Amino acid sequence: MGDKPENWKNRIKFLVVEDDIPVRTFTVRILKLLGFSGTIYEAESGKEGLAVMSRDKDIHCIICDWHMSDIDGFAFIQRVRAERPQEDIAILMASGESMTGKITDVLEHGADDYLMKPFTTEDFQKKLDKVLSGIKEKLEQDTVR
Amino acid sequence: MKFTDEQLKFTRMLAETLPYGILILDTEDRIIGINRNCSFFLNITDPEPQARTYRQVLSENIEGSLSRVIQETRDKGYMLERTLRLSLSGGVQITAAVSSSLLCETGGIIYGMVIVFKEMTASQELERMRELDELKSLFISTVSHDLKAPLTSICGYADVLLQFSGEKLDEEETEYVRIIKQEGLRLTNMINDMLNVASIESGNLHLRPVLCSVKDILYDVLKVSVIDKARHSFFVDLEEGLPALWLDRDQMVRVFINLINNAVKYSPEGGTIKLRAYVKERNLQVDVIDPGVGMSQETLNHLFEKFFRARSDAVSQIKGTGLGLVITKGIVEEHGGIMAVKSNEGKGSTFSVILPLRLSEHKPESC
């Protein structure tokens, strides 16, 4: 039986790493509203996020905060990238940081894009479309096979 | 020990020039050398203190502190720096760092001791200011980060309601939600402005200059500026062959967004806003000229002060934090440039960004 065009959205696995519970809940809800009905893991710290990643090696996209209580966004991205290259897992950094220099640093450290808090549904969707384009293509090809 | 007149003159000059108080005692505690700074620190009024013991010329409270310094120096041969509170004439208290050492030849003959006083009040004050400044920056950054989290939920859910509620919200309810979102974003902008001011003030702006075209920047800014097209129009006059400049593009975009948005905001009756860019002497100058309400001399005097807002009937309804021009000026100055402003009340204002050209930037831009 063939997959529907949007089927990749059911199979993509997310990890949301955010220490602020309402923001984490909001991020998960908005993902669901945008039609991502597959697995969405939640972690409240960088270390917890890394632990989730070691349990499930098939996570496709991480949406993470910059300021976390244990390890900061830079350290977290570096640890993820040490094991998973950019074509394998997308990282969208969401933070209240508004200084352009720091945003450039985040991208140079291996994040695929940066989302400034607070964000609108439209901002979120645009950034997700961008960081997920490669993964979407990969999942759609898998479906055809 | 024999000195020539020249040597004595030079030594005296050196002692008077150093920013320290220097006191030299012989082995009988008699003063054999004292410079002006030391007389000032120890509040010695005797014009000829030489040859008298320090006990004879010092006030009781200073004498007690100094006796302990002298005793320790005799016992150990030196005393490492420690602080003393000293009372100057007129009751002014200062903190001084005091260190001392025996004055002796290599062979071991002891001539006495030298005690050095260094005024610490200014450096302590500077250190305190530096700590306060760091604390302020940390406070602003922490508060701003912690404020952004609830704002993400407030603006985010308001936006979700607007995007996904369909017909569930009536017109009035939709308007309320739209206001919640709009005001949340306004608060976000205020926080960002405060963060930017804190970065500029603490020298943490860290520009990332790239060679770029002012013409491109201006046209990009015009695309995103909030204008009421029914009332405002732009007239752009760029000199031929403007040179490319090393600028932090994002920051410079922010400068012109601020200036152009201000030009629009403060021209509530509408009209033509002119943008002019040209090379003048060794600078590239960009003028943003509005036909708006203008400013009084009193307003111009305070224009670049933090949280300053012009107060007049003509502008009382215009919203703002009073930080935009502080940020604009800070960014321009960080590029080595200056901001200039001319204004006529009721007739409009001209804000000029004047950026210095480096030698390599005198050629016309390639694009």
Indicate if the pLDDT at residue A3 is higher than 60. no
d(CA B168, CA B103): 92
CB A61 within 8 A of CB A89: yes
* CA angle centred on A102, ends A98 and A108, rounded to 5°: 135
Count of alpha carbons within 13 angstroms of residue B47, beta-carbon side: 0
Which residues are B277's β-sheet partners? B238, B286
CB B354 within 8 A of CB B338: yes
- Pick from A23, A33, A120: CB nearest B149: A23
- Rounded (10°) CA dihedral A42, A44, A47, A48: -40
Residue B304 sits at φ, ψ, to 5 deg, of: -100, 20
Provide the residue ranges of all domains of chain A, joining segments of one domain with +: 5-120
A63-109 residue pLDDT tens: 998 888 788 888 899 899 988 887 789 999 998 876 666 777 788 88
B53 contacts chain A (CB < 8 A): no
Chain A residues near residue B248 by CB distance under 8 angstroms: 100
Structure tokens, A19: 């220490």
B231-250 residue pLDDT tens: 888 889 999 889 999 998 88
Write down the pLDDT at residue A52: 95
d(CA B251, CA B327): 10
Q: What is the mean pLDDT of residues B93-110?
A: 84
B33-88 residue pLDDT tens: 899 889 888 888 777 888 888 888 888 778 888 888 898 888 888 888 888 888 77
Verdict on whether the full-model pTM lies above 0.80: no
Pairing, β B78-87 against β A90-95:
unpaired
Indicate if the pLDDT at residue B293 is higher than 90. no
pLDDT class of B363 with cuts at 50, 70, 90: low
Pairing, β B110-119 against β B21-26:
antiparallel
Q: Tell me, what DSSP letter sits at residue B242?
A: P
Give the minimum alpha-carbon distance from B140 to chain A in angstroms, rounded to a whole number.
12
Write down the pLDDT at residue B310: 64
Q: Which H helix or E strand runs over A23?
A: helix A21-33
CATH code for residues B210-361 = 3.30.565.10
Helices (H), A56-120: 73-83, 100-108
Provide the residue ranges of all domains of chain B, joining segments of one domain with +: 5-119, 125-201, 210-361
Structure tokens, B104: 């002796």
CB B216 within 8 A of CB B346: no
CATH code for residues B5-119 = 3.30.450.20
d(CA B162, CA A122): 11
Contact B156 A101 (CB under 8 A): no
Residue B5 sits at φ, ψ, to 5 deg, of: -60, -40
Write down the pLDDT at residue B226: 65
Sheet containing strand B93-104, strands side by side:
B31-34, B21-26, B110-119, B93-104, B78-87
pLDDT class of B203 with cuts at 50, 70, 90: confident
Write down the pLDDT at residue A60: 94
Write down the pLDDT at residue B51: 80
Write down the pLDDT at residue B316: 60
Radius of gyration in angstroms for the set of CA atoms belonging to chain B, rounded to a whole number: 33
Indicate if the pLDDT at residue A2 is higher than 50. no
Mean pLDDT of chain A: 87
- Pick from A96, A99, A100: CB nearest B145: A96
Nearest-10 crossing angle of helices B171-201, B324-334: 40
Look at the domain A5-120 and name its fold.
Rossmann fold (3.40.50)
CB A79 within 8 A of CB A52: no
B14-31 residue pLDDT tens: 988 998 999 999 999 999
Q: Tell me, what DSSP letter sits at residue B82?
A: E
Residue A29, classified by CB atoms within 10 Å of its CB into exposed (0-12), middle (13-18) or buried (19+), is: middle
Write down the pLDDT at residue A93: 92
B247-258 residue pLDDT tens: 988 889 989 999
B267 contacts chain A (CB < 8 A): no
Indicate if the pLDDT at residue A1 is higher than 60. no
Indicate if the pLDDT at residue B208 is higher than 90. no
Who's near A61: CB < 8 A, 6+ residues apart? A12, A13, A14, A15, A89, A90, A91, A92, A128, A131, A132, A135
CB B218 within 8 A of CB B275: yes
Secondary-structure class of domain B125-201 per CATH: mainly alpha
Write down the pLDDT at residue A138: 82
Structure tokens, A89: 């897992």
Chain A residues near residue B163 by CB distance under 8 angstroms: 121-122
Indicate if the pLDDT at residue A145 is higher than 60. no
Q: What is the mean pLDDT of residues B97-103?
A: 91
B212 contacts chain A (CB < 8 A): no
Write down the pLDDT at residue B367: 39
Residue whose entry in the numeric block shows the structure tokens 């912690």? B146
- At B49, which amino acid appears? P
Write down the pLDDT at residue B366: 43
Indicate if the pLDDT at residue A134 is higher than 70. yes
Q: Which H helix or E strand runs over B28?
A: none
